[in-house]
Structure 1
Amino acid sequence: MLTRTKNSYLDEFWKNQSDESVVLTDEQREPLQKRVVRLLADLGYDARNVCASNLIFPTTRSAEGLCFGLAGLCWPVHEAVLEIVQPKLLLTFGNGPESPYAFVKELLYNDESEQTIDSGHPGWVCKGFRAELNQRSMFVAGLPHLSRYNSVGKVEVITWLKEAIDSIC
């Protein structure tokens, strides 16, 4: 039985790297926390009710020191969770050559057309494709990493994600 009741995006004070149970104000949250919560709200979801995880379980403040090879070790756990949750959308943050999106694409891409749309930020795009996992369809979307990218006001991106969700039976 899972006992964790805190939500990393809503309840953890990242500045002090503390997961003490506190009620955070919006000003106390880090930009990434705010952006994830807002993106989910724009898509019509409450962050407390969304299953979320890092592709590589150990958390870091920067990807520089991260061993991307660990993703393969963590993937079986993600696959088991995805089988339980059965999401219509698998949303990844970061879509470059070494990113969660690239890792999932390597595993699940089936040569259908990959979609790209402008992110609303110069030089950055959003990417996505339909995938099958255990005979279930989902849309895998890769946004620029939300530690740098802010989706607020990017109506085209939100509409694209909503349409992708709606397209999954």
Structure 2
Amino acid sequence: MAVAPAGAAGASRPAIITSAGQSSDAVMVNVLANTQLKLGLEYDPLVGADELAGYNTLVVVVGSSAKGLGAAGIDEAQELARVQAIMEQADASDMFVLLMHVGGTARRGPASNQLIEAVAAHADAMIVVKAGNDDGLFTELARQHGIPLTEVERIVDAREPLTGLFGN
């Protein structure tokens, strides 16, 4: 179900993929975007607000993982603060922000939901795996913020909307 078409204008390179929650989902999106689709996007799961200069698009892959946060040496509060800072910088720099949620129900819960809401408030478009939207949270956030939402069955089905956003 698409609340609005996924071909929202504005996504362009240079672009960077980052994580919000440090799950392995960001790695999967990086493989999809760069290995399979050859989009040529940068990847930094811990990018800081001061490192966004020069990018036109920020792809934020949301999904919290206690194991991933631990491996990164940060806690939920530190990750939320980093995400809020990069969202503020993206707004200040007029960057196109794409929120992606590809982990389904396994990447939902209080920590993920807090990050989802923090990113959605600044997003220009969303691509989500349908199973992660079974409660309608993404649908409601898309409606609330007036942004396009594209639901896909599986992460591989994000190929078309992702290439569409980048004009490939």
Q: Which has the higher helix share?
A: 2
Relative to the length of structure 2, the TM-score reads 0.39
The structure with the larger Rg is 1
Greater RCO, CA 8 A, separation 6+ = 2
